[in-house]
Structure 1
Amino acid sequence: MKNILKVLLISLITLTIVINSPFAYSQDTTTSGNKIDGFPVILNDETLFVIQKNTGSFSAEERAETITNRLKKFAENNSLSLDSLKIQPLNDTNTSTIVSDDKILITLTEEDAKAAGKTIQELTTQYLEKIRESVAQYRSERTLQSRILAAIYTLVASISIGLIFKIINVIFPYSYRIIDRLQETHIPGFRLQNIELLSSQKVAKYLISFLKFIRVVCYLTVFYVYIPLVFSFFPITRGLSYKLFKYLFAAIQLTWLGFINYIPNIFIISLIITITYYTIRFTKFIFTEIEEGDLSFPGFYREWAMPTYNIALFLIIALGLVFVFPYLPGSNSPAFRGVSVFLGILFSLGSTSAVANTVGGIILIYTRSFQIGDRVQIGDIIGDVEEKTILVTRIRTPKNVLVTLPNSTVLNSNVVNYSASSRDTGIPLILHTTITLGYDVPWRKVYQALLDAAADTEHILDQPAPFILQTSLDDFYVSYELNAYTDRTIKIPLVYSELHEHIQDRCNEADIEILSPHYRAMRDGNQTTIPANYLPSDYQAPGFRIEH
């Protein structure tokens, strides 16, 4: 029932448009032509013949317009029969006329006959037959029977378009459901190496969106064909129908001719794309071999391979686009050039910091300042390098804080890498810590306690062996620096903490008090600070000396 109502509604709207069409559109009685080809005489939106010559003060255009108006009035007057159309014989002025009840419809001269390449009798007879046929058709199409038949055709066309819409509404939703069912099994995603560019769900979503677009195009195409088709059933709108079909065919023809003329450019673009594609594949093969160590060049490190390939990829694609650009449709149009210049200026003004960060990222790659996983210090930030992109570097601190640094900032800062030495040369990192003890503690005893503390600490290497340096002899104490090797740079804070714990334990076991003694300038009655093993066995601290 609902579909029937839709068909009836479409038919009613169409009939309303057609009925009101005389107010919006009437037969075009103006003539369009030129002096060479002539000006057409039109009836029922059909050109009967053309007028090429002037007659007296009347131009060919004026003659064609006048004849068109006379024929239209004759056709609309049903009281005038076709038998009333007659040819008057030649007169002294060498003219021939077609009349109806002594009313002149058209006058032909010898010049008209010469322009048509016929005698004036033959030309007049030919025009008379055309006029009779056109008037007969004009009147038959405007009878009640023809109008009813046109309404029936309209109803049939409306039912047909309803069925077509129904088929479209069945086919496309069914296609959507099929895509939804197949998206996990038969619709693959798009991947570039290990990077998923489009998942299968997104591919299915884009396919459904494309089908929805095709569905709308089908609706519009069917409706555009339907309206001129219905208009062609009614004589008062047939001219508009012809124009609509003419526009459609002209657009199709223009598109097709444009495509045919563009085929050479398509071949050139395809050739450029093919060359670019295989150049990229060859370049990738070379840099992959370098990364895997199968191919090497002096001074070119393996970790440079993929970043260099990405730079080469960008340059190859950019060069390919430069070659393709002149062959793109509309590339020579002022609008296309204006948009290109505008986008270039916009990019230049808005990408200053981005360009600086990009250049900084490229320089950091080739300076080999750090790699992913290295423990580094950049400015006041200490942590492990977690991500290294062309624009930013991300560092995770020991407190699990993720810090993002622009590459331009990294490039302008001092970078301390705690992992590079162990990774590149095999020489582990040296951790060092300093304690200060008085001169009364034997230095050999201090050495042993510190070395034992280093040996007790996890992640401190036995080889190379730890060592101790006396970094200063101050007024009241000595500075002892313990140096120990480790290859676990990511655990530096934990290693330091554990080392300090063991230093305290070993010093306490050796009766070494960790402090920095200070003395007043009063030595009488005090024990000397020289270690006991350097003093005589009968040494006693002097008493206080008091003078009167």
Structure 2
Amino acid sequence: MVKLIKSFIAIALVISSILIAPSLAFSQGSSSPQPPAGAVVTLDGKALFTIQKKSLSSSPERRAQTIKERITAFADDRSIPIDSLWTKDIEDSILVGAGDKILIYVSDEDAKLVGKSRQELTKQYLQTIKDAVLQYREERSTRSLVLAAIYAVVATIALILAIVIWQWKGGASRINAWLNSQRYTRIPSIRIQNFELLSADRITDLCIWLVGLIRSIVALIILYAYFSFV
């Protein structure tokens, strides 16, 4: 009976060791150091790729921010075509640029961290930048056209309303009519002793002329503002 119990315990220990060993190996493997999370490079809030390696004294975050600013400047400058993107090998890195501007450099360390060759990672970055900038420009072109159309409609409505209000509230004709009605009552002549410098008629006509001039100036200002706005 004792031998049977000992045999049972021995078998249990063997089975336990077989089951526990893989678990320990897995836990040890999972605790191995992982590559740093890095900093994401974005364009207009959209993620492009992640920078994991620092550059000299710049942290991954600072490096990602610099790359973001360069790509954004390239995207905003429509004088630099999409096809002007280029790459250039220098020692252990590959430069990616547009026109005469450098956007990013891809080093062997960058590629090693993501398990790719330097050339493969550069090709991926290049295509990502190209697609993102193209979409960025297209979205802003469409948005600009829509906003321009809205501005034109609003400006036209404002112009029509200004003209209607100007006429509805009397405008120059009613002012002129009122001036004529006051020609010999509230509008006196200007005299120095017995010498008449300006008669009431002349003053009234001058006021009517000034009203017409002001009306023309206002109309020109409205038209100028309209065409400038549109």
Give TM-score, length-normalised by structure 2: 0.47
Give TM-score, length-normalised by structure 1: 0.20
